[in-house]
Structure 1
Amino acid sequence: MATLKKRHANAMDSKADPATTNNKHILDDDRRTAARPGTAGVIAERILSPKTALFSWTVFIGFIAFFIFVAYGGHYTLPTPVMEEHHPVTGKPQISEAYMRRITGHLSETIGLRVSGTAQDAETERFLINEIAVIEEKARIARARGATDLPKIDTWVQVDDGSHQFDFMHEVVMKMYSNLTNIVVRLSCGPECDENALLLNAHYDTTLGSPGAVDDGVGVAVMMDVLRVMSLSPSPKKNSVIFLFNGAEESFQDASHSFIVNHELKGSVRAVVNVEGTGTHGPEILFQANARVMIDAYSKAPYPHGTVLANDLFETGIILGDSDFRIFRDHGNITGIDMAIYKNSYLYHTQLDINENMQVGVPQHTGENVFAIVNYVADEVDLRQIPEMTNDVVYFDVAGLFFVTYSAATAIKMHIVFGIAALAAFLVGASRPSIKSFLSIPVSLFAAVVGPFVLATLFVSLGKPMQWFSHEWYPFFIFGPTAIAGMLAVQYAVHDPKASTGANELSVFSGVQVFFTALLGLATNAGLGGSYILAMFSISLTVALIFNRARVGTQKQISGQSEQMVVHAVGFSTYLIASAIPTTYFATVAYTLIDVLVPLTGRMGPSTPVDHLVAGLVGLVAFLVCPSFLAFAHRFGRPILLKAITILLLVQIPITLFSLVALTPYNHMHPKRMFIQHLRNTTSGETAVYLAHADQGAIYDSYIAPLEQLLGVKAVYKTSKEDKDDWNSVFPISEFIDSYVIDTTPFIRSQTTNKTIAESTAPLTDLIKNPPRLTAENISYDPTTGLRKVTLLCTFPDHIWTVITFDALLKGWSLSSKVPSPDQFHYVIRNAGGYGTDGWRLDLEYAVAGEMGANDKLRIEMISMETEGFDWRVEEERELEGTGEIGIMRKIINAQPDFMALTYMSTVATVFNL
């Protein structure tokens, strides 16, 4: 009788959830069930045929893969580009990718590098002013034809000086700027709109070595297109819109600072939308936001893409970058949103940031989003009261279709309800965790990370770091099997052979639910906006368990048996409920994390353990993409679980061997970054090339050794601590780059056609024409206070981006910001200027000790960059006076492997005692 009851219960379980078992594939009841002594009426282990187990695994993996595929489509889909500037039917102006690509193409290809202080910088200003004039003329013609409701257009060209403190990478950097240009346009409905404005910002300058089609050519093009469309549309109803084309962001946000502290419109700005670019593909992301009103404005974008998690991630400092958004926030107390194109940042700040490498649809996506946001704020938002700056807002998009926002207070209430629901599931018996099953979940997460960590250690120890770098998804191929095997190994260890597979399955499933609910409570208490993801897991698992309990109750009623006679397996439908929302959504988050982190490892510096960082990411994603997988692993008992672990580890062996032998970290479109500097030190007389790499990948055999042979000199390796002062031209990036240093003096002497120079022992730096100079004036000393005053005058014809460093106990200076330290301090002061700027002035007052008094000179090291030394047009390289055509930099550039991206410069350094 007991056997019949067991068979009937199992049959009803199969009917209630047909995907769970298939009678055609199940062995006879006597072979698949066995009652244990002392457990009468309780179903023990279900032993399924291999064919049935394979079928079940296929179904489970299939619907998880389906969720991931759905997330992929929603995450990466871009709109179809619009080629016409006016709608073919209505004739109204519209956002057009064709128009924007004309702008980005001219900026990045016709003009090229647009570094502040260069002739190309000035050429860009003329181009943008001309484009704005064309827009104004078309609006004037439209008004003349009867369109009287068009906005009023005002234009300014601001040229200003200033200074500010810019802390970056835990370093204090003092900034000075001279003659920097901003191009400003305002659209308004008249005086009633002018008191309150939305600021739309993008920068037109580029960094060293990059033509900047996306960074920030796209931002400029989007702004220009929005300006074009709005100038031919009805006037803003509530607020004016200020378009700031700023001329110096890459020199550490100087031009945006100039606008927000000096421009006459600064007082009317109430909110900002900043448009940036750090990649070349995919949708732009909302990665910083600090006001509810502006987050709500972003929700009006037709293709929203963003999460508060990105905001949390940016604030950690792991992303080595910043934007003008920081300046508006810190110096203008302005709220707003910061948007950036971010996918495929392999090409960011390289010579590959060109129009043809920008994915089709990127400008259209960004342009339509910005246009919708700006229109909404201009017409609908009351900006008379300055929006409150806050981070207490939860926001995220759903597959790029719509945007969800709610307050942190609402999140807390929701999470309390979810916690109560989880408790109710436990009280009614739907959730049946044990202490062991609960503890196995965080241990499984730990194991998912540890396994890839061990593998990463192996790759690094064998001299094969970053084998995964050339594709964002390679890390999952390389580390994924080990991560999954680690999780399963923990579950194998905690599987209770004395309980049925169903009991094990339900217990672990319940443990997953309790774990995420507990984690949700901790994250909510910590005030983390990203806790909404944990809330998705918690409530989905809770609802799934309650559904599973109802399913078991239905089986009990149909069979007429006691509940303990029913197999308590977790049905496939339960897994679907538990996974549909969190797995689909977390997959989109995982795509973002991968797209940001993997390319970023190529510029984190050689000391950062990027292999372990990426390995940890793989383990985290493997765990979070479907945590209920841990429960499903118990479905077929320990023998099947052991086989799965064994298969994964066996698969890992050929994958590891293949990755070590066949994969290479870099290729042309996924390059290794190198910073190259030809430094001429007029104080020591040394001339040397510094070759710094920005990641852990090997470089000596493929590049340094051939250069040693070419130049006939062995390279000396210096760590970032040893050579950081030599890299002051790019401080504070110099804090994390190591260098190979090659003396170029022997090569120049051996190659020059000037016999006098070849045979001379005089320093080659004596041949530098018009080197930068630093002089002291207005020197005074007060013996009563022990303070010395001095005015520094700097001249640097044909150079840009001067940097001075010195140690002093400063009491005052002419910079607008306060002296950052009351004690002896190492000061780094960087200067940037517009085209034609060749000098600056700085007043210092500092304490001196001893009897030297007024003669206690200040030791100042200065380094500056030659205007010809960083352009890709290497034929313009400036040679040392009288040495003939040698072209050190040309030879170094021509010798670079195809997989390398160079950022190069020629600099002059001098020590002054003033």
Structure 2
Amino acid sequence: MHTDLFEMDIDVQVVSGAYIHWTMVNMYQGVQNVVVRFRTKASTSESYLLINSHFDSKPGSPGTGDDGAMVVIMLETLRVIATTRTPFHHPIIFLFNGAEENPLQASHGFITQHKWAKNCKALINLDSAGSGNREVLFQSGPNHPWLMDIYRKSVKRSFASTFAEEIFQSGLIPSDTDFRNFCDFGKVPGLDMAHSYNGYVYHTKFDGISVIPRGTLQTTGNNILGLVRTFTNSSILKDPSRHAEGHMVFYDFFGYFVVSYTESTGRILNTCVSVSAVLVIGISMYLMAADSFVSIGYTLRLFSLIFVLHLIGWILAIALPLLMATIFDSADRSMTWFTSKWLVFGLYICPMLMGLSAPTLLYLSISRNDKVSQPYRLQMVDHAHTLILSILCILLTYSSIRSSYFLMIPLLFHAISLVINMVTTLHKQAYYWSIFVMLCQIIPFLYFTYLFYALTCSIMPMMGRFGSSSNPDLYIAIISVLGTMLSMGYLIPLLNIFNRPKLVFLILPAVTLVIALIAITQIGFPYRPATNVQRVNLQEVRRVFYEYDGTVSRNESGYLFDFQDRRKELPFAPYVDLEDLYNISDECDKYMMCGMPIFNHRTTKSRRQASFLPREVPLQLPGVPQLTLLRKTINTTTETVRFEFELKGPSHMSIFVQPLEKVTVSDWSFLADMLLREPPFHVYFSYGKISTPLKFYIDLKTENSEFEEPLMQLGISGHYINFEHERDAETKKFLATFPPYSYIMEWPSSYERYMF
């Protein structure tokens, strides 16, 4: 480090706090951040650039991809800046946060409580949902277009997509990042970037250094270093709020450069291209009518027929892949593509092409319209495709779907081919017009093939942790339809140029049949040891229900399964004895939070899909949370009763509160906004360096002011997720029966239900 130019301050923050995260109060105590402030000595700027990654990992996972690689890149960026004599204007905060997986606690602690947080004016958030390769920019802003200008100028190997941003923000992706807290609680605009390749090993024991491509650190490091240098010398960083102007549309072009413009510019561009494309096909049909010596009315009637047929083709193109996805799911054969990605070609792409082309191919094969030639009628098929795309583009654009640029791209290039054909008069020379149609569709074909291949490589592994309630084949089918429609929508009608188009067409159902048969063999089995595993969250559970008089009404041990994908327990049947396994949905109707030690916000959401396997041998737990009623105080003035408690236990616990009928929670020691929601109320509590007991109170109010009767259920769950806790012999024996292609994220947990 050049001490004559730079200075560095290091602060280890130990912080406690709470905020509402999804359906729970997310409360933390004594979590850590390592914060580095690096600046040029001559700088007087008080506007900081914040760079964040997390050094914690999921229990059982080395965390090399998530998020060790990004931590290394941050450290190397700091080293390069410190050892080169290149001054910069704005200071940099390197935040190595210690509780992202918990979830997102340390970032909240930093942005709401750290002394340097108020100076942070822009953010680069670095995370991962995979293991290396290129990092994707999947969130920008919000409402700060200048961020994309900096990204475009700084990044050498870009990979960015508005489509990825809209998918992520829709909630379809089963992940979240610290970016949320920095934006929501600190109002810090920024860029959210993550590695998403090879998500099969994400959050598993296989996420080690051996699966990280070595070029990852260099490529991502170069990009981050370029961003840091541009950000720290940007005059905008002094007051970014003056440059908040709305959402951006952005996408990279094969990684070589980035196209970006504001949402309002996108509306104008999409509208102009769509309207122009419709005008061009109108001129084309006028020329067809003149050249065919028929009236424009006759031409429009013929076009209307072809338009209806092509619209039916669109419906079939969507319906057939979805039907395939439904059939395979109904036959318990979902996710056949999970390891063998190429199966998607026969299962979804071929049916899509078959459905899109069938109606017009059949019509062109049997029609005998001598007034308008076959080449002209084939051009009308592409015109019908243009009209459908134009209508959809306008509708999506004015529905604020920024990814509507997808439709603008093929429209633009097809309109160019139409203009060229009309100017050169190739449009009336047999099938020669198809040459420029194909040439002009090369770029859309390559772009959408590139984009949707990258998308499927990211989405397919995520389906392995998407949960069991939804059919993942439907999502992959929709992605396949969208990508194929955009890349080949103008090309597939050109089958009719062949002398025997029906014979060429029959290749599609033949390929579908062959690949469907392959998919139901062992090739289509989704899982492989170490590389493509089936994930299961498994809790070894002991649950005890205490009644109001202190008696125990239920004392049971067993295993709580939270299956992470659609196939659930079926792949385990040949190996594991699951004869007594049952779904707990009925218990969710009967007991508060299903009467189970629900872990966090995600398991709360999926609890009705969970299953329970009782065991005869009582579970030997490492410990049990200790709940102590300190005092019960009746306030006759407010007609409320206060229960004060002290809770001791493991580093991860949950508190569930369910007032009984005609009883309400009027106040408590946690966040008051949570009480505006419907009970049961969930408080997720975890601690790090500070392990002092949690003291809290709950105030209850009744309609009859009677406080010497049962008023509420109080559930306490304790989670021993660290592997320093020994599993009992029965658990070890049970875990040993799982097949090698499974990854079991397991931990002992307790649940006590009390009545007060």
Q: State the TM-score, normalizing by the size of structure 1.
A: 0.74
The one-letter amino acid paired with 1:175 is: N
Between the aligned partners of 2:597 and 2:146, the Cα distance in structure 1 is: 43
Distance between the aligned counterparts of 2:408 and 2:611, measured in 1?
50
User: What do residues 60-95 of structure 1 show as CA deviations (whole Å, max 9, x unaligned)?
Assistant: xxxxxxxxxxxxxxxxxxxxxxxxxxxxxxxxxxxx
8 Å contact from structure 2 (residues 653, 716) kept in 1: yes
Work out the percentage of aligned pairs sharing the same amino acid.
22
TM-aligned CA deviation for residue 511 of structure 1: 1.7
**Cross-structure match for 1:603:** 465
Query: Would you say 1:795 and 2:648 are equivalent positions?
Result: yes
> Matches of 1:731 and 1:324 in 2, distance apart?
16
Q: What CA deviation, in whole Å up to 9, does each residue of 1:25-64 have, x standing for no partner? A: xxxxxxxxxxxxxxxxxxxxxxxxxxxxxxxxxxxxxxxx
| Pairwise CA distance, 1:421 | 2.9
State whether residues 197 and 242 of structure 1, in contact with CA within 8 Å, keep that contact through their aligned partners in structure 2.
Answer: yes
Q: What displacement does 1:376 show? A: 0.7
> Which residue pairs with 1:667 in the alignment?
528
Q: Give the conservation status (yes or no) of the 8 Å contact 1:501–1:634.
A: no
Secondary structure class of the residue paired with 1:670 = coil
The aligned length equals: 714
Quote how far apart the aligned CAs of 1:655 are: 2.0
Pick from 779, 795, 798: which aligns with 2:632?
779
Q: Distance in 2 between matches of 1:730 and 1:691?
A: 14
- Distance 1:823-1:590 versus aligned 2 partners, 3 A rule: closer
Q: Which residue of 2 aligns with 1:755?
A: none
Contact 1:780–1:854 (CA<8 Å) still a contact in 2? no
Deviation at 1:548, TM superposition (A): 1.2
- Which secondary structure does the structure 1 equivalent of 2:173 belong to? coil
Q: Secondary structure at the match of 1:686?
A: strand
Partner of 1:548: 421
Q: 1:177 aligns with which of 17, 25, 28?
A: 28
Amino acid at match of 2:712: L
What residue identity is the alignment partner of 1:644?
V
Tell me the CA shift for residue 856 of structure 1.
Answer: 5.1
AA at the equivalent of 1:166: H
Match of 2:750 in 1: 908
Matched, 1:415 2:299: no
Name 1:657's counterpart in structure 2. Answer: 517
Alpha-carbon distance, 1:382 to partner: 2.5
Give how far 1:230 is off.
1.4
| C-alpha contact 1:677 1:906 (8 A) present in aligned 2 | yes
Are the structure 2 counterparts of residues 518 and 823 from structure 1 closer, same or farther at C-alpha, using a change threshold of 3 Å?
A: closer
> What's 2:445 paired with?
583
CA 811–295 in structure 1, closer or farther in 2 if over 3 Å, else same: farther
In the other structure, the counterpart of 1:396 is 251
Deviates more, 1:523-532 or 1:281-290: 523-532
Q: Report deviation, 1:648.
A: 2.0
Deviations 1:539-558 (A, max 9, x none): 111110111112326x9xxx
CA contact (8 A) 2:18 2:25 kept: yes
Tell me what 1:266 maps to.
Answer: 117
For the structure 1 residues 705 and 193, does the alpha-carbon distance in structure 2 shift closer, same or farther, using more than 3 Å as the test? farther
- Which residue in 2 is equivalent to 1:645? 505
Gaps of 5+ in 2: 289-299, 546-553, 589-593
Supply the AA of the counterpart residue of 2:258. F
Post-superposition offset of 1:303? 0.9
Aligned to 2:741: 899
- Which stretch of the first structure deviates more once superposed, 330-339 or 280-289? 280-289
Quick check: 1:846 aligned with 2:684? no
Cα distance in 2 for partners of 1:261, 1:382 equals 23
CA contact 2:655–2:717 (8 Å) conserved in 1: yes
What's 1:204 paired with? Answer: 55
What is the CA distance between 1:477 and its match in structure 2? 3.4
- Structure 1 residues 845, 389: CA separation in 2 closer, same or farther (over 3 Å shift)? farther
Distance 1:326 1:725, change over 3 A: farther
Among residues 292, 304, 320, which one is paired with 1:435 in the alignment?
304
Q: 1:688 maps to which residue? A: 558
- What residue in structure 2 maps to residue 497 of structure 1? 368
With over 3 angstroms needed to count, the CA separation of the structure-2 counterparts of 1:614 and 1:824, relative to structure 1, is: closer
Write out aligned runs for 1:470-619 (5 A): 470-495=339-364, 496-498=367-369, 499-552=372-425, 566-619=428-481
Displacement of 1:810 = 2.9
Q: Is 1:298 the counterpart of 2:151 in the alignment?
A: yes
Q: State the distance in 2 between where 1:901 and 1:255 align.
A: 28
Post-superposition shift, 1:487?
1.6
Q: 1:175, 1:831 within 8 Å by CA — same for their partners in 2?
A: yes
Map of 1:52-131 to 2, 5 A cutoff? Answer: none
CA distance in 2: counterparts of 1:552 and 1:251, whole angstroms: 66
1:215-364 → structure 2 map (5 Å cutoff): 215-234=66-85, 236-290=87-141, 291-299=144-152, 300-364=154-218
Structure 2 match to 1:454: 323
Deviations 1:489-540 (A, max 9, x none): 1222443431432012111122222222222222222222212222211111
Structure 1: 5+ residue stretches without partners:
1-138, 556-565, 747-763, 880-886
* Distance (whole Å) between structure 2 residues aligned to residue 428 and residue 475 of structure 1: 39
Amino acid across the alignment from 2:462: L
Task: Quickly say closer, same or farther: Cα 1:487–1:397, change in 2 above 3 A.
Answer: same
Amino acid at match of 1:658: I
Cα separation, 2, equivalents of 1:363 and 1:821: 46
Structure 2 matches for 1:654-803, cutoff 5 A? 654-663=514-523, 664-668=525-529, 669-683=531-545, 684-697=554-567, 699-700=569-570, 702-704=571-573, 706-708=575-577, 714-719=579-584, 722=587, 724-736=594-606, 738-746=609-617, 764=618, 770-796=623-649, 799-803=650-654
2:726 matches 1:877: yes
Residue deviations 1:389-409, cap 9 Å, x none? 565211111111111221223
User: Which amino acid is 2:740 matched to?
Assistant: D
Deviation readout 1:430-482 (Å, 9 max, x if unpaired)? 78672233344443232122222222233233332222211333322333322
Equivalent residue letter for 1:646: L
Give the drift of 1:380. Answer: 2.5
What secondary structure does 1:428 align onto? Answer: helix
Cα drift, residue 795 of structure 1: 0.5
Q: Partners in 1 of 2:752 and 2:252 — Cα distance? A: 53
1:124-183 superposed Cα distances (whole Å, 9 cap, x missing partner)? xxxxxxxxxxxxxxx2xx43xxxx22x21011111111110001xxxx111111011111
Q: Residues 425 and 704 of structure 1: is their aligned pair in 2 closer, same or farther, counting only changes over 3 Å?
A: closer
Change (3 A) 1:519 1:703: closer
Q: Contact conserved, 1:198 with 1:242, CA < 8 A, in 2?
A: yes
Residue 235 of structure 1 and its aligned partner are, at CA, apart by: 6.0
Structure 1 residue 673: deviation in Å?
A: 0.8
Which moves more between the two structures, 401-410 or 672-681?
401-410
For residues 401 and 561 of structure 2, the distance between their equivalents in structure 1, rounded to whole angstroms, comes to 41
Secondary structure of 2:99 counterpart:
coil
Find the partner of 1:625 among 487, 494, 505: 487
Deviation at 1:769, TM superposition (A): 6.5
Residues in 2 aligned to 1:484 and 1:443: alpha-carbon distance in whole angstroms: 13
Say if 2:633 and 2:641, in contact at 8 Å, map to a contact too: yes
Larger Rg: 1
- Structure 1: distance between partners of 2:335 and 2:572: 18
CA distance in 2, matches of 1:589, 1:265: 39
Q: What secondary structure sits across from 2:134 in the alignment?
A: strand
- Given that 1:200 and 1:243 are in contact with CA atoms closer than 8 Å, whether structure 2 keeps it comes out as yes
Measured after TM superposition, the shift of residue 725 of structure 1 is 4.5
Task: Spell out, residue by residue over 1:351-396, the C-alpha distance to the aligned partner (whole angstroms, 9 max, x if none).
Answer: 1111111223122222211111111101224312134556521111
